């Protein structure tokens, strides 16, 4: 009986070990506006080959705004151009509606209420928190940008998203 119990425990532990994220890190980006004020947080987690992104914004302008992962982990104000172009390791064109698209960094729009609060939750298989060509942890890192206008999901290279109004450098955090 004791041996059967030990075997059962070993099988349960092995099964739980197989439920990991496929990555030993998660990520967070603390978003700041062009004045350096905190305007939100984006959390990145991975389960299997799917990355979940949860963006919670505060103090953003009301309306619909494009959200993209950008290729460089730098957020120099006032225009955040230091974050480079959209994260695009596979060399695609922009937008989910573009037959040649989409960039790995193309994400849904966030809708911000009149009180300045907004929430965007999505998943993608085009990014990775592990290693390899689609990893956001490449040599120069990655950043999350909120734009002034909504993304039209088709116009290359930016989706007519307008100015960069908030930026956060993606940093590794331990998986919880």
Give the whole-angstrom CA distance, residue 132 versus residue 124.
16
The residues that are catalytic are 68, 70, 86, 94, 103, 106, 147, 164
User: In whole angstroms, how far apart are CA 129 and each of 2, 26, 46?
Assistant: 41, 7, 7
Give the whole-angstrom CA distance, residue 1 versus residue 153.
60
Give the whole-angstrom CA distance, residue 130 versus residue 25.
7
Give the whole-angstrom CA distance, residue 169 versus residue 5.
47
Give the whole-angstrom CA distance, residue 93 versus residue 145.
18
């Amino acid at each position: 009986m004791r041996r059967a119990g030990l075997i059962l425990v070993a099988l349960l532990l092995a099964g739980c070990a197989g439920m990991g994220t496929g990555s030993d890190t998660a990520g967070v980006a603390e978003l700041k506006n062009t004045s350096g004020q905190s305007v939100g947080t984006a959390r990145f987690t991975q389960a299997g080959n799917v990355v979940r992104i949860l963006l919670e914004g505060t103090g953003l302008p009301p309306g619909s705004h494009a959200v993209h992962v950008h290729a460089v982990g730098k957020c120099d104000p006032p225009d955040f151009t230091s974050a480079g172009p959209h994260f695009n390791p596979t060399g695609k064109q922009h937008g989910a509606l573009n037959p040649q698209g989409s960039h790995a960094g193309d994400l849904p729009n966030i809708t911000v209420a009149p009180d300045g609060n907004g929430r965007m939750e999505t998943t993608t298989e085009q990014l990775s928190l592990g290693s390899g060509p689609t990893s956001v942890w490449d040599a120069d890192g990655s950043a999350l940008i909120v734009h002034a206008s909504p993304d039209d999901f088709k116009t290359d290279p930016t989706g007519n998203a307008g100015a960069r109004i908030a930026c956060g450098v993606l940093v590794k955090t331990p998986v919880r």
